[in-house]
Amino acid sequence: MPSRFSSTSMLAKCSSRRRFISNVAVLGGVALLPSASLFAQQNAVSNVRALAFDVFGTVVDWRGSIIREGQILSASKGLTVDWADFADRWRRGYGPAMNRVRSGELPWTTIDELHRMILDDLLVEFELTSLNEQERDALNKVWHRLMPWSDTVSGLNRLKTKYVITTLSNGNVSLLTNMAKNAGLPWDAILSAELAGHYKPAPEAYQKAADLLDLPIEQVMMVATHPSDLRAAARTGMRTAYVDRPLERGPDGAQSVVADGDFDVMAADFLDLADQLGA
């Protein structure tokens, strides 16, 4: 049965893999070849030239960032708000809002605009209608100021030495650009579903990224903490790397359930991903 990805167990596996010398392990004087699964993994990633990263949750801590900024707003305005609940509710509106675009109920609408639509409803529900337009706009732009996980920048800089690294997010280009500037994210390129006019997991979003990178799609690896994103990418021919982010939805939030081998690479964080990809 599949079990939730264990950072500890996977780190142990990664460490044992790195102890191979010229892809051969020696035990008691007997040379043992690596397992077929390890060879399969090595073959799967050997031709990868670019890494395309999901952003919200994978690269940055959206929940913690919104809670912190909300608490600052509360302190300055004398508000009493459960910002953890607010952040969770805001994020939960994301999928249904994109579905309105996918279904044709709405024309193409950027994530900034969808976030604002969700926010306007939440301001009523959380009795925050006293915020003026400038304050509402600033709160909506919190998504431009999300902070990275502790391993993100150092891991990306390592991966950048070997691969082209780019975003592949449903966030609009201006949002992703401002986020990168604010958080010091060293992208080689900023790609967005906006450029394809289709939100992930539509195949057009993944194919457009490969086209813009001028690479065969199998030479691009999708990196994400969301299994559904990776499975959609895999169906287009992309390679896949799962990165564990157990705190994305908070200490008591729902966790992704994946099995070892579900994706080409399974990593505990970006530093572990760099280790496994030889960067």
The angle formed by the CA atoms of residues 17, 151 and 232, to the nearest 5 degrees, is 70
Domain check: are 120 and 197 in the same one? no
Task: Please indicate, yes or no, whether residues 179 and 133 belong to a single structural domain of this protein.
Answer: no
Is the domain of 200 the same as that of 257? yes
Task: Tell whether 73 and 185 lie within a shared domain.
Answer: no
Q: What is the pLDDT of residue 267?
A: 97
Do 80 and 50 lie in one domain? The reply is no
Element (H, E) at 165: strand 164-169
Quick one: pLDDT at residue 252? 84
Residue 208 lies in domain: 7-17+37-59+149-276
**Cβ contacts of 170 within 8 Å, gap of 6 or more:** 56, 98, 111, 192, 193, 199, 200, 205
Residue 23 CA from chain centroid, whole number: 31
- Which pLDDT score, from 0 to 100, does residue 142 have? 98
> For 141, how many CA atoms within 13 A lie in the half-sphere containing its CB?
10
Q: pLDDT of 70-121, one tens digit each? A: 999 999 999 999 999 999 999 999 999 999 999 999 999 999 999 999 999 9
Final residue before a domain boundary, out of 111, 144, 177: 144
Q: Are residues 165 and 46 part of one domain?
A: yes
For residue 69, the domain's CATH number is: 1.10.150.240
Domain contains 25: no
What is the pLDDT of the chain when averaged over all its residues? 89
Same domain, 52 and 153: yes
Instruction: Please write the tens of the pLDDT for every residue from 7-63.
Output: 434 443 443 343 332 333 333 444 444 455 555 566 778 899 999 999 999 999 999
Task: For residue 259, tell me if it sits in a domain.
Answer: yes
66 shares a domain with 52? no
Same domain, 225 and 213: yes
pLDDT tens-place string over residues 212-269: 999 999 999 999 999 999 999 999 999 999 999 999 999 888 888 898 889 999 999 9
In a domain, 237, yes or no: yes
* Same domain flag for 265 and 184: yes
Among 92, 115, 144, where does a domain finish?
Answer: 144
The domain that holds 50 is classified in CATH as 3.40.50.1000
Choosing from 124, 144, 164, the residue where a domain stops is: 144
Distance, in Å, from the CA atom of 101 to the CA atom of 109, rounded to the nearest integer, reads 7
User: What would the two tokens of residue 181 be?
Assistant: 């500037």
Q: Are 34 and 23 in contact (CB under 8 A)?
A: yes
Single-letter residue type at 82:
D
pLDDT digits (tens, 9 = 90+) for 120-138: 999 999 999 999 999 999 9
pLDDT of residue 35: 52
Q: Quote the number of domains for the chain.
A: 2
